[in-house]
Amino acid sequence: MSKIAPEEVDERLEDGDRSLFIMDIRYKKQYDRGHIDRSRNFPIYGDIKKGDTASLEKRLDRIPDEKEVVTVCNAGVTARKVTEYLNEKGYDAKTLKGGMRGWSQYDNNTLLYRLKKLLS
């Protein structure tokens, strides 16, 4: 399973890299409370968690196949299922390591994030 670290996503966004498509699968309410700049909300979390990919299939035409797709959920677990599905469909997809929790820890430069980075 392919993952991408929050700092790599952040660096690429800051450099103006337009080859990333950040797909946030969390519920709209969660997305509205905070999300990664330039991310798009695909509120399919509940369906994917139940193993139902129909809502994702209906949205495939909204995912550019020429870009690297970064899937985002709360902690990265459910997003991995979306990443696997997209890779099977021929997309270049990766899961954001740690999901939005990992992003928040990175963004806030928390002690927990710095320790995880040292140990990895």
Distance, in Å, from the CA atom of 120 to the CA atom of 114, rounded to the nearest integer, reads 10
The torsion angle over the Cα atoms of residues 9, 97, 72 and 79, rounded to 10 degrees, is 140
pLDDT at 26: 98
Query: Structural domains in the chain?
Result: 3-119 (3.40.250.10)
Q: Does position 110 have pLDDT exceeding 90, yes or no?
A: no
pTM of the predicted protein model: 0.91
pLDDT at 1: 61
Q: What is the pLDDT of residues 23-68, one digit of tens each?
A: 999 999 999 999 999 999 999 999 999 999 999 999 999 999 999 9
